[in-house]
Structures are given as structure tokens and as C-alpha cells.
Structure 1
Amino acid sequence: MPATDTLDPVRALDEPTLSIAEVVERTGVSHDTLRYYEKEGLLAPPRDTGGRRRYREADVSRVVFITRMRSSEMPIRVIQRYVALVAEGPTTEPERLAIMEAHRDAVIARRAELDGALAVIEMKIEMYGGALGATGSCG
């Protein structure tokens, strides 16, 4: 839905909406980030007759999705492609699946890298803890 859509005041009564401040509170995403997502075409909340953004549950769900994908290091350009495919409808589900599978594989590989790094950190903590415990030094 284009960002310039205006909520029909009658229809708005049928579908509860949230202000940008309420979405910030619910999701932990900043005002600036929400506006950035909108600028990048990832989000298109309709506006009320006063021009204020009004977020529906689907918009909030998308914010959570984008946040999770970003925290898992999915590039914005890939999220943009995914969102564009969603807008095209169900015929794009195979391509969306491929995007999610590729990203899952990248996340699994990254997790393995982080597990290796964590093992080194744990070894160092054990080594330092053992050395400090033997000398009685607290640091």
C-alpha cells in the first residue's frame, strides 16, 4: 500500500491503529528507524486525515519481522526484495522461500562462527579464573 494512502475514518473504526509513538513503545524501534523503513520502501503505513501515520497490526508485524531480519544481518536490499515480492502476491512464494532458506543458511554459518569465538572466550575466562584462583588475587 503506498505511503500516501489515507485511512477512511469509517474504516479506521473497524481496524484499530497505533500512532508512531505507540509502535515505538511496542517494538523498541525508534521513530527515526520507522521513518527510515518507510523511506526505503519497507513499510507504508497509511495516514489519517491529519496526515499522521497510523500503523495497523500488519505494519507492526512487519516492523518486528524487519527488526529480526536486520538483527540476523540480512541486508536491507534483500529485505526490500522480499517485501516487494510479498506485495506481488502468492505467486512469489517460491522466491520468498529461497530468500529465507539462503538467509537461514547464512545465520547457521554465522552461529557456528560465533560458537567458535565463544569457545575461545570461555577458555580464556577459565584460564584467567584458574590463574587468579591459584594466586588468590582478585585483580
Structure 2
Amino acid sequence: MTIAEVSKKFDLSQDTLRYYERIGLIPSVNRNKGGIRDYTEEDCRWVEFIKCMRNAGLPIEVLIEYVTLFQQGDETIEARKKLLTEQRKLLTEKMEDMKKTIERLDYKIERYEQAVVVKEKTLRRPED
């Protein structure tokens, strides 16, 4: 696949794809005889993985570390698992914080809705 096709498929800019490749988030993409990037299915799986992890908020530095470990082979399996486990724990904590924030927002919204109902009652004309 060309970079344009991958860009469209994953809704990432071509500049972002080039950046990810340059910093090592995506292993080097092969190029055809004309020098054009030729993404393989494996390359696309890396793009999908990185996009998913970035959307969840994982820092680029953590992902670079993960990819570097992956490229070192099976002797890094435990280190990779530990890295992913730590990130999962951080995301779970973040989700809990977000849940509390949503609950607080719901409470505040409810209070405003109650205030509007009270205000509307005072604006009604008394029935004759």
C-alpha cells in the first residue's frame, strides 16, 4: 500500500506516518524501485497498534521503548509484558479518575436542571 492509502485507511496524515517511521514507532517501511513507501500488512498492523495506543493516551516514549524491545527479539518478552502491564494500570487509574469526573459533572448538570425547573415555576402566571 502507498502512504496515501495507509493515511486514508487509518485516518492519519502522511506527515504523521513519516514521523512515526522516523522516530522508530513503525519499523522501517520498504520502498519500491521508485523510492515510494510500500506498506505491507505487517506495517499496517504496526500503524493500527500505534494509533490505538496513542488514542488511549500512551506516551510516544513508551511506545518507542516497546517497539525497540520488540525488535530485540524474544528475550525481551517479559520486559514488554511488564511495560504493557504498567501502561494498563495507568490507563485503569485514568479511567477511574474520568469516571469520578463524569459523576461530578452529572451531579452539576442535575443541579442546573433542577434550578431551571424552579425558575420556570416562578415565571408561570397563577391560574385564575
Normalising TM by the smaller chain, what interval?
0.7 to 0.9
Q: Which amino acid aligns with 2:83?
A: I
Aligned residue among 51, 64, 72 for 1:88? 72
2:5 counterpart of 1:22: yes
Q: What's the TM-score, normalizing by structure 2?
A: 0.88
The alpha-carbon deviation at position 26 of structure 1 amounts to 0.9
Aligned residue among 63, 69, 81 for 1:79? 63
2:85 counterpart of 1:98: no
Q: Note the residue ranges of structure 1 that are not aligned, 5 or more in a row.
A: 1-17
Q: Please tell me whether Structure 1 or Structure 2 has the larger radius of gyration of its CA atoms.
A: 2
- Aligned positions of 1:1-139 closer than 5 A: 18-43=1-26, 44-136=28-120
Distance 1:134 1:107 in 2: 40
Distance 2:94 2:25 in 1: 25
- The number of residues matched between the two structures is 120
Identity, % of aligned positions:
34
Task: Kindly report the root-mean-square deviation, in angstroms, between the aligned alpha carbons of the 2 structures.
Answer: 1.3
Q: Which runs of at least 4 in structure 1 moved beyond 6 Å after TM superposition?
A: none
Higher relative contact order (CA 8 A, sep 6+): 1
Distance 1:136 1:19 in 2: 60
Match of 1:12 in 2: none
